[in-house]
Chains A and B, each alone.
Chain A
């Protein structure tokens, strides 16, 4: 329990820390940065945060976290207010990998990996496949048991950060005869294992955040199975939504601070290169939409805080993570579209956006195109609406083939 006074003190501490430690001019330095520069910067920033105890606040105290939800809200809102860089490279490691290990991993697995993550171990998620996108449970990568090891063959797609990863959270089919959600197992895969090939995928923005992972007779020791054999789908379901409240809260704080600030700035400055030279804000339609966005961001931020509180109190609804993910991603998309529209032709000359930033960087056209990186992965908006309809409202499932 953290009282309001302690929280205010904590806010002051974090605010001062940010003023002292957020690297000046990092956005410029990260714009057009090489992969190596990006990785080096991410590692350095992670180490800074770790030194302050801010890298993994959501982990249990025994593993180096232990911050209350209320403190985490303060931490993320201050980092956003000071426009600190985001932890992009470590994201899967500190959220998905850690949540999986804590919820379903063995003591041995936790001891092996949680401290390593704090030392910079990078993780990637090997879930999606060419034939298993929204219908993830139909994945085809196989893991054949041979004695005390599994032999894996298949292909993974849309693996964010695959090129830098040390380890992979892998879903593979261990029982081809079982109904599709009951024949999947969850593995920890060392990316240095022979038989793994990673190829970057160039995405619509021109960058390569994602990779394809080809797996040919890749051997995984049985000790690296997470949870029971064939219970991988259940493990994944358990841990996928768990982190969503706080991760979206962080993104919502960023959208509400720097993101909205830049949008307002774009509206109150005369349009660069525009023929008429007026300010967008003088158009009442622009002012109206700006106010509508501010209202929606305020609602989103409150919704995230509410979800985090409910999650901590154990009263979260089954579709709460879907509601915030859906709303955040679509609001982001609409706001970036608006930014691109308001900024006009000048926004088309911003050919690169800074790495290590949030999803809104002020390079509006690229930000808008990049926003599909939120509405498609992690359960596309259509899937989220189905989850909300079925799990929150209790509407009947669509008759489907297989389950």
Chain B
């Protein structure tokens, strides 16, 4: 498939997604069944496992449209993290069955990859596996795990007794394993606290990474960061559209407020930020899809820029809508809260910029950052 064909497929996917999500309406979760039937869950899953055999570039389209609609639902937990994790571990009958079931939408598998969602480093994992007389035991705690309380399966990132990252495939009801909803202000997302206290783990529940475990963890974190950047880009676009539509209609002093420079220029700044953000997000999604060098740098750039911009854009939208914008009914607060949560999840802008800055090195003349 050449680049032009892929672009056409993504355009078509975008159109279908926008229609479907528009029908669902705001504040209502699109039916998971409908989303599964549309094929959005298994976009990256190989055809042999009932998926579409596409790439993250296509998932990015869905993420952006979900952001545009501020759609509730467990896509972040189930697809970005859950299916994302299953694709990184070695194939086995148990893994393949779960991946099929996740693709079909019959099971939601949530993944707990960081101890606190603000982490961006792959060095610390939330759980650890100990070997004792009775076998393997799991300990640890992961907060703000997307869609954990709704999940039928939990994929817990742990350090094995030898200190290597591994995934434990667990049932939420297992003795010692507790999952509690963590209510947050953003009503469109659900986060959970997962605690493991001396949970017995069978060898058959261990899922080893297919490649280098540290690289796999980093890849998943990059994936989560880019996913949130896509979401933020989509919600920024929705906020600009809504603001422009309002500014053309709303009249004060006898003319549409959009004819005032103060309003017009604020809208122009929103468009400029979105235009820059779109380039960064698109580059990050492409690099991630192809597992290209520089993917994690691109992810940090996209995450820090697009998620900061989304908060500014949604904030400007509230301001430019005036009193109406501050009402519950206008729904702008839904976007602002989602943008704020996107910004906080999987690495703050400052945390991502700190990672970028680590590359600048100690000595003048180091040129690792000048990608051509």
Contact = CB atoms under 8 A, between A and B. Distances in A.
Interface of A: 11, 77-78, 81, 256-257, 260-261, 264-265, 267-269, 281, 284, 287-288, 290-292, 294-296, 298-300, 302-303, 306, 323, 326-327, 382, 384-386, 388-390, 392-399
A256 B370 CA distance: 7
B271 A394 contact: no
B206 interface: no
Nearest to B361: A268
A392 B271 contact: yes
A398 B304 CA distance: 35
Contact of A395 (B259, B283, B365): B259
Contact of B280 (A77, A260, A290, A295): A295
A323 B248 contact: no
A295 B354 CA distance: 12
A384 to B, nearest CB: 8
B367 interface: yes
Given A81-B370, A264-B360, A303 B258 contact: no
Nearest to A292: B353
Interface string B246-263: 011000000110111101
Contacts of B280: 295, 298-299, 302
B279 interface: yes
19 contacts: A77-B372, A264-B360, A268-B364, A287-B353, A292-B304, A302-B280, A302-B283, A303-B275, A327-B275, A385-B265, A385-B268, A385-B269, A386-B264, A386-B265, A392-B271, A393-B264, A393-B267, A395-B248, A395-B263
B264 A299 contact: no
Nearest to B269: A385
A300 B276 contact: yes
B275 A268 contact: no
B363 interface: yes
B47 interface: no
B364 to A, nearest CB: 4
Given A292-B353, A295-B280, A303-B276, A396 B269 contact: no
B255 A399 contact: yes
B354 A284 contact: yes
A265 B354 contact: no
B326 interface: no
B248 A261 contact: no
Nearest to A320: B275
A396 B370 contact: no
B362 interface: yes
A388 B265 CA distance: 8
Given A261-B367, A264-B369, A295-B353, A327 B248 contact: no
A121 to B, nearest CB: 33
Nearest to B263: A395
B364 A265 contact: yes
Interface in B112-149: none
B365 A265 contact: yes
B77 interface: no
Nearest to B240: A393
Contacts of A290: 357, 360
Interface in B257-300: 258-261, 263-265, 267-269, 271-272, 275-277, 279-280, 282-283
Of the listed residues B248, B265, B277, B305, the one surrounded by the most CB atoms of chain A closer than 10 A to its CB is B265
A388 B268 CA distance: 6
B247 A395 contact: yes
Given A281-B360, A306-B279, A295 B258 contact: no
Contacts of B247: 395
A385 B258 CA distance: 12
A294 B240 CA distance: 25
Contacts of B110: none
B369 A268 contact: no
A35 to B, nearest CB: 33
Of the listed residues A257, A294, A303, the one surrounded by the most CB atoms of chain B closer than 10 A to its CB is A294
B52 interface: no
Contacts of A386: 261, 264-265, 268
